[in-house]
Structure 1
Amino acid sequence: MLLLLLQVLASCLWLGYSEVVTSFESSCPQFFFRGTTPNEALEPENPAWICQRYNNQYYFATLYDKSRRIPVYSAYIYEAGSGKRPNIWLVEPQLVSPTYPKTIETESTLLNDYDISLEEIGKNQAVYQDYKNLTGLNRGHLNPNGHHSDINSRTATFTLTNIVPQNEKLNSGAWNNYEQQTMIKNTEGCTTTYVVVGAVPGNNYISNGRVNKPSYIWASACCEVDNNHRKTWAAIAENDKNEVELLTLGELEDVLTQLYGRDQVSLFDSGCPRE
């Protein structure tokens, strides 16, 4: 019995430390209001739950679609700050094998230090080559580096598991305005702002069918004003137009429910108002 208890304890410790985990609730719940994650209505057929780890610290959480090689959503706490934009692209070693590093790394590190092939790296995730020579699209962050206050947290967002093929005019135009201007305005008076940003899979692909091009990009936030008051907001954009529609949280959940065609979507704990 003692041996069994020790094995269970060791298993729990391993889960708490690993990068690709069995659930966010047990490993990195701090990025979700009251530890409540979006419900299963968004879950893909081939999912990976990633507690995004860089320099031995968790910075955000990503539900990843290993078949379409795009994130379903990334969840983080909004802490905007100024700083240099990182010039690096990272991948998730644990999507190759749980025996590899528990922190995001460069492709060159995996190729040279661990003797992993590019084909192995790209089996369950996008690689840098997938985003080369794009026309009208670029690498679109779900969790943007500008929503973080220090170099490590900003660098952590430059993992390809946080990136989708996004319309370049939208990415640099209306969506950028939402990320910067609207978020700054809406978070006034907030003590903590929990954010979930996602992408609805589309019918088109890049890189010879390897990486899905989302049909929509969406964002939602639940901000704590004080212990008894919270406010929410949301946005959605078609991924072929330079337009962003502002919604209530409840409206976005209803739109996503229609787009996914599954159960009713719930993005936050019930303590976050839907209107």
Structure 2
Amino acid sequence: MAHFHALVLALLVFTGGWCHCRADVGDFTACLQFFYKFWPPKGLSGTPVCQRYYDQYHFASLYSRPRRSPWFSAYLYTTPRGKRPPSSWKFEPQLAYPEADGNMMPFLPGVVDQNVVESQAVEQDYINSSYTRGHLNPSLHHQHHKDRSSTFTLTNVVPQKVGSNDGPWEFLEQAVNKTLSAYCLGEAFIVTGIIPYQKEERWLKNHRVAVPEYLWSAYCCPNYNSSLPAELKETFPTYAAIGRNDRNSTEEIVPVDETTKKQFRGYDVRLMPLATLEMYLRSRFGIDISIFYLQCSGSE
């Protein structure tokens, strides 16, 4: 009971009271603006989370309660500015208490409320686990400080090997940043998600948070510069990628480049058309998955 009272007190201090006006967990209605044509990806099942920080929506995630991690996060790309914010990690109160305020909350020092522990990942899960907190919606892809700070919530991260997070996957995020900032005109929509292991789940040390075998990402830029360099002609209006999160995975989805630096070897990223990504998702999940409305064609 003391833990519950501590959470109530934290919520009151952070938000000025309870919010009974809208649920930000269980429905994407409040944050459809982060999806192309207000159309969330189809096929995957989970708990929708409208990620709210300081009473503003910043992105959306489809959360898996059994895995205690997201299936995907969706956001609007904006050209980054300034330094990366400090890693102040947060949680989603409404996953633990449906009547709680929808603003994400920072973890406080000391013992974490048990309902929070049971409903989602907490900082302790990642400590001494050999995995980093891998952003699906990265701070790098946002301009404003609050947008960037909002990405540091454990409902937006998955266990990611450092060789991926600090290597090929980071290089992909940087490449997408350069491409969209230079050639995309208007809004750019990005969805980034995970692919689980096919036969047997892998978990962090305490068997609470599931580890993905691959990460994937796709962007949709319906309006872009028509004078693209030749090497970018095939990358608009959509493009996609799959990255390895296990250097021992087989190579039928993403081959391994043996010439890569040793610390990054086995964490390769393969670029591909959107249709190819959806083919691999369909094969692994056993269901049809569509990421963007009409494949970001711009047609009605």
Whether these two folds match at TM > 0.5 is yes
Whichever residue aligns with residue 77 of structure 2, its letter is Y
SS in 2 for 1:254: helix
> How do residues 1-275 of structure 1 correspond to structure 2 at under 5 angstroms?
17-22=22-27, 24=28, 26-39=29-42, 41-43=43-45, 47-87=46-86, 88-108=88-108, 117-135=112-130, 137-190=131-184, 191-202=186-197, 203-225=201-223, 231-240=237-246, 241-261=266-286, 263-270=287-294, 272-273=296-297
Whichever residue aligns with residue 238 of structure 1, its letter is R
Take 1:93 and 1:197, find their aligned partners in 2: how far apart are those partners? Answer: 23
CA RMSD of aligned residues (A): 2.2
Point out the structure with the larger strand share: 1
1:271 positional shift: 5.2
SS in 1 for 2:124: helix
Take 1:145 and 1:34, find their aligned partners in 2: how far apart are those partners? Answer: 24
SS in 2 for 1:270: helix
Whichever residue aligns with residue 24 of structure 2, its letter is E
Q: Unaligned regions of 5+ residues in structure 1, if any? A: 1-12
Take 2:268 and 2:113, find their aligned partners in 1: how far apart are those partners? Answer: 36
Whichever residue aligns with residue 289 of structure 2, its letter is V
Take 1:29 and 1:14, find their aligned partners in 2: how far apart are those partners? Answer: 20
1:186 positional shift: 4.6
Contact kept in structure 1, 2:282 and 2:289, CA below 8 Å? yes
Q: Unaligned regions of 5+ residues in structure 2, if any? A: 1-18, 227-235, 247-265
1:192-232 deviations in whole A, cap 9, x for unaligned?
11000001123210031100000110000100216x9x600
Take 1:50 and 1:122, find their aligned partners in 2: how far apart are those partners? Answer: 17
Take 1:207 and 1:244, find their aligned partners in 2: how far apart are those partners? Answer: 26
What residue number does 1:4 align with?
Answer: none
1:185 positional shift: 1.9
Contact kept in structure 2, 1:21 and 1:27, CA below 8 Å? no
**TM-score with structure 2 setting the length:** 0.77
Take 1:201 and 1:120, find their aligned partners in 2: how far apart are those partners? Answer: 26
1:14 positional shift: 6.1
Q: Judge which range, 247-256 or 74-83, deviates more.
A: 74-83
1:188 positional shift: 2.9
Percent sequence identity over matched residues? 38
Runs of 4+ in 1 over 3 A off after TM superposition: none
1:57 positional shift: 0.1
Take 1:139 and 1:99, find their aligned partners in 2: how far apart are those partners? Answer: 28
Contact kept in structure 1, 2:194 and 2:212, CA below 8 Å? yes
Take 1:273 and 1:244, find their aligned partners in 2: how far apart are those partners? Answer: 25
Contact kept in structure 1, 2:222 and 2:297, CA below 8 Å? no
1:80 positional shift: 2.6
1:28 positional shift: 1.0
Whichever residue aligns with residue 210 of structure 2, its letter is N
**TM-score with structure 1 setting the length:** 0.84
1:101 positional shift: 1.9
Contact kept in structure 1, 2:132 and 2:161, CA below 8 Å? yes
Per the alignment, do residues 34 and 167 of structure 1 end up closer, same or farther by CA in structure 2, a change over 3 Å counting? same
Contact kept in structure 2, 1:52 and 1:62, CA below 8 Å? yes
1:118 positional shift: 2.9
Whichever residue aligns with residue 32 of structure 2, its letter is P
